[in-house]
Amino acid sequence: MKHKFEVYLPKTNEQLSGFIKQIVSKNPVKHYIIRIFDEYFPLEDLLQILEKHQSDIEKFRQNKSLVLWIESHFDEIPEFIPVAPSEEEALDIIDFEEIERDLMM
């Protein structure tokens, strides 16, 4: 399945928060994979950002996929955003969610 997606690599809390605000404010035309590196985002900071933007993330995910690509802390990430340990698995999630959306129409 072919899809439009972009990988975003934030390096600060402000970049991640700003990115989430930015993509939610537009009509989503592509899927996003957010690559999270442990050295830039301690788990506590990441969880605070995700909780702060939960409603925005859920709104975005009604039309397009938003997946966290993170190599650790899977169990601690809230269930409202999918998590993948690799880019390939993130793409699999996007493909699966596209199929689900198509079936719901």
Tell me the C-alpha distance between 23 and 45, whole Å. Answer: 20
Count up the domains in the chain and report the number: 1
Domain assignment of residue 26, given as a range: 5-104
Mean pLDDT of 75-91: 93
pTM of the shown model: 0.90
Task: Report the distance separating Cα 51 and Cα 57, nearest Å.
Answer: 9
Strand partners, 98: none
Residue 21, φ and ψ in degrees, nearest 5: -60, -45
Determine the pLDDT at residue 104.
84
Give the separation between CA 64 and CA 29, rounded to whole angstroms. 7
2 has a pLDDT exceeding 60: no
Per-residue pLDDT of 7-47, as tens digits, reads 999 999 999 999 999 988 877 789 999 999 988 899 999 99
Identify the H or E element spanning 15: helix 13-25
Q: Residue 73 pLDDT > 90, yes or no?
A: no
